[in-house]
């Protein structure tokens, strides 16, 4: 991704240290933080210093690698038990995004093939970098396939952030927009603010601004108005998990956008790297939906008048809130899944075919 004219990835590892763009501070401050052990990796995912399924996955892969690199093994026979502990710790950070578990499983299976401690440490670096590179390549291909559905003059609605910061680079939902823009198409993006953490108004808008792509931030409840009045002609979102029947789990509010798009005959596409497709989960209703702290709803966060980053209460003192982080969009509302292997219908037959 381009930030102040310089190319970055959202997360990477050098000499056993994990470096990460702190997404909590975007857009008010650009800061790269360092992670030195599995506890810091766990907290970075849990507290959403990193977020977005592919970015979480890459962080998890680097976290497993870092733990192996830094641990003093008495013998290679101790590797399996240690991996069990590390993988369980990282997997416990957040429950919904499939990429987290996909990445941990990828690292676990690969590392158990090592025949010596030295080989395991070298393999940890190679595997984690491979995982991140594969993710970036998938996102680029998603962008190339998705570009084909964007006509010149397209007005795109997004929800949450599924750009480069949410992946490792390039993005999922924003990947088609980026490629269309690079090819000279006139593209405009309506950016849902995406309460309560405002990943749209904070992060998606930041990315589009840095790339020079025209956009407008809109309130979450304004999308229907713009659809009804013909100002939006396609919706593209990301996903944290796709069930075998084509149901999709994504940031809370996605379901509403899908239903309104369906009622207004507007195509609704979901960008879905194969790593997010979970054929072991039958339907979206079988997926555990994370419920986060109610304070995310009771307060708003941003840049205060004194120039400091902070929060303000927007609810009555002692107010009570519910805060599901995701919702399920049934397959019938989805026009297509844009994957790195092409665009498919959200049906079990097509999903099993593309995952084979």
169 is catalytic: no
Torsion angle (degrees, nearest 10) of CA 235, 239, 244, 246: -10
Report the alpha-carbon distance of residue 151 to residue 132 in Å, rounded.
Answer: 31
Residue 217, φ and ψ in degrees, nearest 5: -80, 135
Can you give the three-state secondary structure of the chain, one letter per residue? CEECCEECCCEEEECCEEEEECCCCCCCCCCEEEECCHHHHHHHHHCCCCCCHHHHHHHHHHHHHHHHHHCCCCCHHHHHHHHHHHHHHHHCCCCCCHHHHHHHHHHHHHHCCCCCHHHHHHHHHHHHHHHHHHHHHHHHHHHHHHHCCCCCCCEEEECCCCCHHHCCCCCCCHHHHHHHHHCCCCCEEEEECCCCCCHHHHHHHHHHHHHCCCEEEECHHHHHHHHHCCCCCEEEECCCEEECCCCEEEECCHHHHHHHHHHCCCCEEEECCHHHEECCCCCHHHCCCCECCCHHHHEEEEECCCCCEEEEECCCCCCCCCCECEEEECHHHCCEEEECCEEECCCHHHHHHHHC
Which is the catalytic residue, given 192, 240, 247, 278? Answer: 240
Which tokens belong to 333? 């509302």
Length of the chain (residues) = 356
Q: What is the C-alpha to C-alpha distance for residues 27 and 335, in angstroms, rounded to an integer?
A: 32
Tell me the catalytic residues: 240
């Amino acid at each position: 991704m381009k930030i102040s004219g310089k190319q970055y990835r959202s997360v990477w590892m050098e000499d056993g240290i994990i470096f990460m763009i702190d997404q909590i501070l975007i857009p008010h401050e650009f800061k790269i933080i360092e992670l030195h052990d599995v506890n810091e990796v766990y907290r970075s995912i849990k507290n959403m210093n990193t977020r977005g399924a592919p970015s979480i996955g890459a962080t998890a892969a680097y976290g497993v690698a870092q733990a192996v690199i830094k641990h003093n093994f008495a013998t290679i026979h101790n590797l399996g038990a240690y991996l069990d502990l590390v993988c369980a710790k990282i997997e416990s950070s957040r429950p919904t995004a499939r990429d987290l578990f996909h990445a941990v499983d990828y690292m676990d299976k690969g590392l158990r093939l090592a025949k010596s401690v030295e080989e395991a440490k070298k393999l940890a670096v190679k595997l984690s970098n491979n995982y991140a590179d594969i993710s970036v390549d998938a996102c680029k291909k998603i962008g190339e396939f998705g570009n084909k559905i964007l006509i010149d003059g397209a007005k795109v609605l997004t929800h949450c952030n599924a750009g480069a910061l949410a992946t490792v680079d390039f993005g999922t939902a924003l990947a088609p927009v980026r490629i269309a823009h690079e090819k000279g198409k006139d593209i405009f993006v309506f950016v849902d603010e995406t309460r309560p953490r405002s990943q749209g108004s904070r992060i998606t808008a930041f990315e589009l601004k840095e790339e020079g792509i025209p956009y407008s931030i809109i309130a979450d409840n304004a999308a229907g108005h713009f659809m009804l009045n013909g100002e939006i002609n396609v919706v593209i979102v990301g996903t944290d998990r796709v069930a075998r029947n084509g149901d999709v789990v994504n940031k809370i509010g996605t379901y509403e956008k899908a239903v309104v798009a369906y009622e207004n005959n507007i195509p609704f596409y979901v960008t879905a790297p194969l790593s997010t497709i979970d054929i072991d989960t039958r339907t979206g209703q079988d997926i555990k939906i994370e419920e986060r702290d109610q304070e995310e709803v009771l307060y708003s966060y941003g840049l205060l008048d004194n120039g400091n980053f902070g929060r303000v209460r927007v609810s009555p003192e002692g107010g009570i809130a519910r805060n599901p982080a995701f919702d399920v969009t049934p397959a019938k509302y989805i026009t297509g899944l844009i994957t790195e292997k092409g665009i498919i219908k959200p049906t079990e037959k097509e999903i099993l075919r593309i995952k084979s």
